[in-house]
Structure 1
Amino acid sequence: MSSSTFDECLKDNMNQLRSYFKHGLPDYGISPFDPFYITEIPQKMSNPFFNYRLILKNVTESGWTASQVTKIRTDFNKDQMLVTQFFPDKRLNGSYEIEGSFFGQKVRNQGIWDLALFDYIQTLTISRKKAGPSAPLKNPPIKVKCNIQSCKKLELHIGNLAGGRTIVENMLDWIINRAWQPGFVVLSPIINDLVSTAFTEIMNRDFQNFPFDEVFKN
């Protein structure tokens, strides 16, 4: 772990483990997480143009097995790891409930949605506080924060976007997918929250008591 090549070695070995994302590692208590599922993710956002409360429900995400870890940076003094991954094709879907206002127009709606991200790059910051007086637990909770780096293309389809008015919904769908770059600015925080929430749950469920000392030797 003190070697200058440790991060590169860890990156290569994580890529060799990708096939286990779909099946898990039962001997280590790790469940499958490609696809992963999360019951509910709430989000609020407010700025001069829109103010809304969004709840994403029954969310499924897939594409991890085909992803490639491109960079890892560990900091054991901070109990922190940064993992950058490239996804050729990441898929997310579920249902939504939204209430708020957009450009002065009130909106209250619900429906289903699906999102595809192509040539997508994200960095996960995985960390936890060290055990001690301020963190008395032997294995303090793990926190994951997602930060989108880039995306070459996306496809987003939102059901019941205009209250069932098919012609309007088809037109809005066309606009969203033809001019997705500006919309990606709005979507990015939602995707960051979604992945952060889901993987904080996964990391605490499967890795809170993982025997790291058996795998990594000083």
Structure 2
Amino acid sequence: MTFSKSLLACCLFMFFSYSVEAVGKDLPDYFPRCHRSDPKLNECLLKATDQVRPYLIKGVPELNVPPIEPFTLPEVSLEQGSNLLNFKAKLNDIIIRGLSNYKFSQFDFDVPKLQFHCKASIAELKLEGKYDVKGTVLGAPIIGKGDFTAGIGHSNITVFQAIEIIKKKGVEFTKPIFTNSTIVVGNPKAQLYGLFDNNEQLTKATNEVIQDNVDKLFEDLRPVIEKVITSLIEDLIFRVLANNVPYDKLYPK
């Protein structure tokens, strides 16, 4: 479940030019520049995802980009209502390890249409944090709060985004108008501690049910996770471009 937010961090490095502050900021000198008039623009962007990796691992203070190794999320909310899953959950103080192992296979910017098509994979993710959940899993009650750990095997994410160009004080910036994401994960695992007021027997039984059915449960949860990822990509990443690096500095002519 926590993978929902972790993958959105995958897109943090997809668009490596963010700061929420100053209008008219430029990319750091050590960042690659990909010119939108370059016939090999997409090759440049794809190569840039690897070039910026060491800077993203440490964080980019000039652009207010936090370190991605580990990457932290203060809170994630999940809610689902179906025959398999019917619950509300809140995850807090999430620490994600492994995001720096991302690999982009596609990073296409259709300049005339102002559209991005991106595909990336991550070899393995490890997550930990705190949870608070109430509901049912496969018809059985699940309630409690405590610590959790999770693991994700090889995972893929695909992102489509359409943007528009807006002007602020005569300067052009980008702004998202539509974002959509899809995810495929391998070998998900999860362990919840402290369920049912720390009842060890019920906690163990519930974790066994979750792990025995984790693939089906994740498939059921997929639309919710993809919606969360899409929302986060827009709200936490792309929207800041409207107040950030001008279009001509982000993707020079």
TM-score band, normalised by the shorter chain?
0.7 to 0.9
Structure-2 residue corresponding to 1:6: 41
Structure-2 residue corresponding to 1:156: 190
| Residues 99/50 of structure 1: CA separation in 2 closer, same or farther (3 Å cut) | same
Structure-2 residue corresponding to 1:34: 69
- What is the CA RMSD across the aligned residues, in angstroms? 3.2
The alignment status of 1:100 with 2:139, answered yes or no, reads no
Structure-2 residue corresponding to 1:167: 201
| Residues 27/49 of structure 1: CA separation in 2 closer, same or farther (3 Å cut) | closer
> Hey, what's the Cα distance between the residues in 2 that align with 1:159 and 1:80?
43
| Residues 30/165 of structure 1: CA separation in 2 closer, same or farther (3 Å cut) | closer
CA contact under 8 A between 2:142 and 2:206: conserved in structure 1?
no
One-letter code aligned to 1:82: H
One-letter code aligned to 1:19: P
CA contact under 8 A between 1:40 and 1:57: conserved in structure 2?
yes
Structure-2 residue corresponding to 1:121: 156
Moved more, 162-171 or 195-204: 195-204
**How many residues end up aligned between the 2 structures?**
213
Structure-2 residue corresponding to 1:45: 80
CA contact under 8 A between 1:38 and 1:198: conserved in structure 2?
no
Which stretches in structure 1 are left out of the alignment for 5+ residues? Answer: none
One-letter code aligned to 2:129: G
The alignment status of 1:216 with 2:239, answered yes or no, reads no
Secondary structure, in 3 states, of the residue corresponding to 1:153?
Answer: coil
Runs of 4+ in 1 over 6 A off after TM superposition: none
Residues 113-144 of structure 1: CA distance to partner in whole angstroms, max 9, x if unpaired? 12111111112334544427xxxx95546876
| Residues 152/141 of structure 1: CA separation in 2 closer, same or farther (3 Å cut) | closer
CA contact under 8 A between 2:175 and 2:239: conserved in structure 1?
no
TM-score by length of 2: 0.68
Residues 82-115 of structure 1: CA distance to partner in whole angstroms, max 9, x if unpaired? 3211111112222122233456655442222121
> Hey, what's the Cα distance between the residues in 2 that align with 1:107 and 1:198?
27
Structure-1 residue corresponding to 2:126: 91
| Residues 147/105 of structure 1: CA separation in 2 closer, same or farther (3 Å cut) | same
Structure-1 residue corresponding to 2:210: 176
> Hey, what's the Cα distance between the residues in 1 that align with 2:96 and 2:228?
10
> Hey, what's the Cα distance between the residues in 2 that align with 1:114 and 1:200?
27
> Looking at both structures, which has the greater relative contact order when contacts are Cα pairs under 8 Å and sequence separation is at least 6?
2
CA contact under 8 A between 1:41 and 1:197: conserved in structure 2?
no
Which stretches in structure 2 are left out of the alignment for 5+ residues? Answer: 1-35
TM-score by length of 1: 0.77
CA contact under 8 A between 1:31 and 1:206: conserved in structure 2?
no
Higher helix share: 2
Structure-1 residue corresponding to 2:219: 185
CA contact under 8 A between 2:42 and 2:108: conserved in structure 1?
yes
Residues 28-47 of structure 1: CA distance to partner in whole angstroms, max 9, x if unpaired? 44332333222222232223
CA contact under 8 A between 1:95 and 1:113: conserved in structure 2?
yes
CA contact under 8 A between 2:68 and 2:100: conserved in structure 1?
no
Query: What does 1:17-32 align with in structure 2 at a 5 Å threshold?
Result: 17-32=52-67
1:60 to 78, 86, 95: 95
CA contact under 8 A between 2:80 and 2:221: conserved in structure 1?
no
> Hey, what's the Cα distance between the residues in 2 that align with 1:130 and 1:211?
10
